[in-house]
Every structure is written in structure tokens, then in C-alpha cells.
Amino acid sequence: AEACYRGTNAVPRQGSSARTLHVGVTEGDLAPRILTCGTVERARAVAASFDGGVVEREVASARGFLSLTGRCGGVPVSIVATGMGVAMMDFMLRESVAVLPAAADGGARALVVRFGTCGSIREDAAEGTIAVSSGGSTFIRRDPDAFGGGGGSPYQICSVVPADAELSAAVLRELRAELGEEAAVVEGLNVSACSFYSSQGRRDPAFDDGHEECDPVEAVRRMHPDATSMEMETFHLLDLARCARPTPHAVRATAASIIVAHRPSGRVASAASVALLESRGGAAVLRALAATPLAAPPPSPALPPA
């Protein structure tokens, strides 16, 4: 039974097996190049682009994670569906890293691209567009201390955490090559939120979310005019990548998100366009992962003397 796990520190494994407690993976299940997404359906749609459509290894966990491993142009790649929110991204990244071999010579142990869906909070980034988070990510959270008479701002906004530049450029290049004129691909800052509701500014009369005092979308836009995609996991992925040891390259990560809703206008993408962007966009992200070396990226060129 799940309660009988071994080890209360580091990453516990399930009692009688070597599988991690929540994601359910063990050594050899995952490739170091990982596309991660929210839904099992998107994971399967993207896996159809594995070489020959072949899934070589599949792990479904009791906690709702699904890991599919195959190849892209002969390079092993994995897709991990996480479900939603910071905690699920935390389980996914920590337990995946725990079963991957250590990085060689300062290179990456894992290259990770989140391929999610999002709302757009930027006027000129419409529904049906894909937003690449080359500008990194910030996080907005509802502060419980501001409620129940606590006072203070109901929302807190974190500093920006960067995305991996080489991986972001590869994702942008492959998405543009794949989609051409069919769909726009834009770059910008991602905003992750602690909720789909309160901290994404959705008004719900059933709860006091402090929106009369502070509109969280407007607060982010004032602080970051390039804020584009708003969703729920990218910030935590980039934050953990930044902190993965040995820093700075043990985990390199970025994100691309399909804009399903344009928040300023209220327009939403059609189911058909989302399905197309999931499968074609996912194929492009797999190619970007396969094309990016695990070796540490070359140092950025020195600035010319002033």
C-alpha cells in the first residue's frame, strides 16, 4: 500500500518497488528531455508524433501522472502529464530528476519544456496564438493574511525568474517552422497564478477575493507590460530549474502555452484550433528538445568595451 513507503527524506520510493511515490517512475523510465503538460489527452496527442508513433515505455501513477517515453528523430524523449498547479509541477520535476542519471561535465540532467494552455493578458496576443515564455515568468498569489481583517494587499507578485535562452530559442524556431502562417507564435513574459480564479482576476460573487481593492491582472500588467501568458505551473518549473544542483545548468527549462482565452476581449479559441495546436505544436516542441544538447550552453559573448 502507498502508506508503506521507504525513506521519509529526499524522494521516497513505494514500499516494495523502486518507483517514486507520486509520479511512479523509476530509473530507466524517463529520458532527460521532457515535455510536460497538464492533460493526459494532450500527452497522448503529442506522443502520436514519436518516431513511428511508438510509445516505448508508459507509466500511469495512482496520483494521476502519465509518463510516455519514445523517440524524436532517434533521440529519446518523454512526455509527462501532471494535472494542474504548483504542487503537481513540484512532484513531477523532483521525482523525474531523482530517477535520471547525474549530469555530465556541468551539462543538464534534464531539459524540460512545459507545453500548456493559458489565458492571454496582452491585447495583441490573441486566442489561437502560442506564447513562448522567453522572458521568463513571474508568480502572483492571493495572500491569505490580507483577509479576515488582516489588511495589506490581497495579492503578492514575485520577481521574474528567467527561462533557458537556448531552449526558448529552439522552441520558438521549431514552432514557427511547424506552424508558418497557420498560427502566430509570440514571445513574452509568463505569469503563473496560484489559482485559476482569484489570482487570475476571475470574479466570483461566492468568494471574497479582494478584487474591489486590487485587480490582479491589472496589477501584473502595470508592473510588466510584456506579460503575455497567464497559467498555473511555469513559474515553479523555472524556479526549480534555477535552484537545481549543480547550478546553473542541472535543469534547463522553458515553456510554450497555447492561448485558449484572450482575457481583455473575452474571446476563446475553438476546440478544433486547440486540438491542432496541441498535436502540431507538441511535435515542434519535441523536435526542439531533441535538437538541444545536454552539454552546458556556450557562455554568452562578452559585451564590447564601452
Chain contacts with ligand URA (rule: CB under 6 A)? 117-119, 196, 200, 230-232, 260-261
Residue 89 near which of ligand R1P, ligand URA, none (CB within 5-8 Å, type-dependent) = none
117 binding ligand R1P? (CB under 6 A): yes
Q: Which residue has the cell 490580507?
A: 146
**Is the separation of the CB atoms in 113 and 46 below 8 Å?**
no
Among the listed residues 95, 127, 174, 233, the single contact to ligand R1P using CB under 6 A: 233
Residue 126 beta carbon to ligand URA: minimum distance, rounded to whole angstroms? 13
Distance CA 36, CA 253 (A): 11
Residue 232 beta carbon to ligand URA: minimum distance, rounded to whole angstroms? 5
SS3 240: helix
Residue 39 beta carbon to ligand R1P: minimum distance, rounded to whole angstroms? 6
Candidate ranges 31-39, 90-98, 145-153, 183-191; the one touching ligand R1P (CB under 6 A)? 31-39
Candidate ranges 33-41, 134-142, 170-178, 211-219; the one touching ligand R1P (CB under 6 A)? 33-41
Residue 277 beta carbon to ligand URA: minimum distance, rounded to whole angstroms? 13
Residue 37 beta carbon to ligand URA: minimum distance, rounded to whole angstroms? 12
Residue number with CB closer to ligand R1P (103 or 175): 175
Residue number with CB closer to ligand R1P (13 or 83): 83
Degrees to nearest 5, angle at CA 80 with 75 and 82 = 165
Residue number with CB closer to ligand R1P (37 or 170): 37
Of 37, 39, 4, which Cα lies nearest the Cα of 19?
4
**In whole angstroms, how far apart are CA 85 and each of 66, 283, 287?**
16, 24, 26
**In whole angstroms, how far apart are CA 272 and each of 38, 83, 100, 257, 278?**
18, 22, 36, 16, 10
Beta-carbon-side half-sphere exposure of residue 168 (alpha carbons within 13 Å): 21
Would you call 169 exposed, middle or buried from its count of C-beta atoms within 10 A (0-12, 13-18, 19+)? middle
Residue 200 near which of ligand R1P, ligand URA, none (CB within 5-8 Å, type-dependent) = ligand URA
121 binding ligand R1P? (CB under 6 A): no
Q: How far does the chain reach from its first CA to its final CA, in angstroms? A: 65
232 binding ligand R1P? (CB under 6 A): yes
**Is the separation of the CB atoms in 244 and 109 below 8 Å?**
yes
116 binding ligand R1P? (CB under 6 A): yes
Total residues contacting ligand R1P (rule CB under 6 A)? 10
Question: Which residues of the shown chain bind ligand R1P in the complex (CB under 6 A)?
Answer: 37-39, 84, 116-117, 196, 231-233
